[in-house]
């Protein structure tokens, strides 16, 4: 039989509120004897709380709303994994919404989630929020929210930032240290990833090493395999190119395909560096040199900040900066003075 809190209360000879408070670790005022009696019944019958029922008593549904621009994107799947690794052991579940990069969809989901008793919201957004949904608007009165937005929406705390500029600068400098001067870049068209920081890192690394920036060596595409493939096809028309810095690892996969199709080899003819440090970059042939960013950790800390905001609303949510690291593998050739 499926036990309810009321059944447990009757069996233990205590009130429903007593059972609820003991199960939510708020039962310090009850004797050990009472707590043991309740918990032994819970364990014996493998009771799992019905969070929507307990919501009536403790105002927590143990459900978190999460809105992401693209659930199929490698970065977001790792991000979600990180969020779940923090939430699941605490008994929280995610209600996941896919906005497909549309602000209209985001707002629709924010409205929906606010009516569904979620305890808080994680919003990964490529947009500046409209005034009526900004962080200081009344919309989130009793609804904690953490933004995963690359610092796009201005705020003093709860910012999760990745050192993307440093990662890109290090990658392009590594090309140059290995003798490359004609270095292309694949960057985004639109969407969540406004890769300005990666693009700035690319340009400044060239400048600091005395290499003039040339717009013809930069091509835009969707930040996926297809986008990387199409942008690389255009870039490879420049026969003097010896290296390509890809906006992310998915683009690098498309780049590998385009290089192969024009009859060139990596790294003999063209050297390639990606960005993200996805697990699959280890399985590319040759193994991809890439800038690793801690996608899963970003999700983990976003979830942690949100739960802290729910449990301790008076506390200020901190900021967190994540390091990047250049993972050197086999997709780079050392050029001698050519």
DSSP state of 241: -
Taking alpha carbons only, the member of 211, 205, 203, 250 closest to residue 231 is 250
Higher pLDDT, 225 or 49: 225
C-alpha Rg value of the chain to the nearest Å = 25
* 184 backbone dihedrals φ, ψ, rounded to 5°: -95, 165
Q: Residue 336, class by beta-carbon neighbours within 10 Å (0-12 exposed, 13-18 middle, 19+ buried)?
A: exposed
pLDDT-based confidence at residue 253 (cuts at 50, 70, 90): very high
Q: What is the pLDDT of residues 178-215, one digit of tens each?
A: 999 999 999 987 655 568 899 999 999 999 999 999 99
pLDDT at 123 over 70: yes
Would you call 173 exposed, middle or buried from its count of C-beta atoms within 10 A (0-12, 13-18, 19+)?
middle
Q: How is residue 272 written in tokens? A: 């390639």
Most confident of 59-68, 139-148, 155-164, 201-210: 201-210
219 three-state secondary structure? strand
Average pLDDT score over residue span 133-162: 90
Which residues in 7-131 belong to E strands, given as ranges? 63-68, 93-98, 120-124
The DSSP 8-state label assigned to residue 288 in this structure reads: P
* Alpha carbon distance, N-terminus to C-terminus of the chain: 78
Average pLDDT, whole number, for the chain?
Answer: 90
pLDDT at 320: 95
pLDDT of residue 46: 76
Task: Tell me the domains of the chain and their CATH numbers.
Answer: 5-56 (1.10.260.40), 63-162+295-322 (3.40.50.2300), 164-292 (3.40.50.2300)
Distance in angstroms (rounded) separating the CA atoms of residues 316 and 156: 10
- Which SS3 state, helix, strand or coil, does residue 322 take? strand
In this prediction, residue 1 carries a pLDDT of 61
**pTM of the complete model:** 0.80
């Amino acid at each position: 039989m499926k036990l309810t809190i009321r059944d447990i209360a009757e069996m233990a000879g205590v009130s429903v509120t007593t059972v609820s408070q003991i199960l939510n670790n708020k039962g310090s005022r009850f004797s050990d004897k009472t707590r043991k009696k309740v918990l032994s019944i819970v364990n014996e019958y493998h009771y799992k709380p019905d969070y929507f029922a307990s919501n009536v008593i403790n105002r927590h549904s143990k459900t978190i709303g999460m809105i992401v621009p693209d659930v199929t994107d490698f970065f977001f799947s790792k991000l979600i994994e990180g969020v779940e690794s923090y939430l699941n052991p605490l008994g929280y579940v995610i209600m996941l919404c896919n906005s497909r990069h549309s602000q209209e969809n985001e707002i629709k989901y924010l409205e929906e989630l606010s009516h569904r008793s979620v305890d808080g919201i994680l919003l990964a957004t490529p947009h500046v929020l409209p005034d009526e949904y900004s962080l200081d608007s009344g919309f989130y009165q009793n609804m904690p929210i953490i933004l995963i937005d690359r610092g796009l929406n201005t705020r003093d705390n709860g910012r999760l930032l990745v050192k993307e500029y440093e990662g890109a600068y290090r990658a392009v400098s590594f090309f140059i240290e290995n003798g490359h001067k004609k270095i292309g870049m694949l960057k985004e068209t639109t969407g969540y990833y406004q890769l300005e920081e990666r693009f700035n890192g690319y340009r400044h690394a060239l400048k600091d090493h005395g290499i003039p920036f040339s717009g013809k060596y930069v091509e835009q595409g969707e930040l996926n395999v297809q986008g990387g493939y199409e942008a690389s096809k255009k870039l490879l028309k420049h026969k003097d190119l010896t290296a390509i810095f890809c906006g992310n690892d998915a683009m690098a996969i498309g780049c590998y395909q385009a290089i192969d199709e024009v009859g060139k080899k990596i790294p003999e003819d063209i050297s390639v560096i990606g960005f993200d440090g996805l697990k699959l970059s280890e399985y590319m042939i040759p193994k991809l040199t890439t800038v690793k960013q801690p996608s899963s950790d970003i999700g983990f800390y976003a979830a942690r900040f949100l739960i802290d905001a729910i449990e301790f609303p008076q506390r200020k949510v901190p900021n967190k900066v994540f390091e990047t690291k250049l993972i050197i593998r086999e997709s780079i050739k050392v050029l001698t003075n050519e």
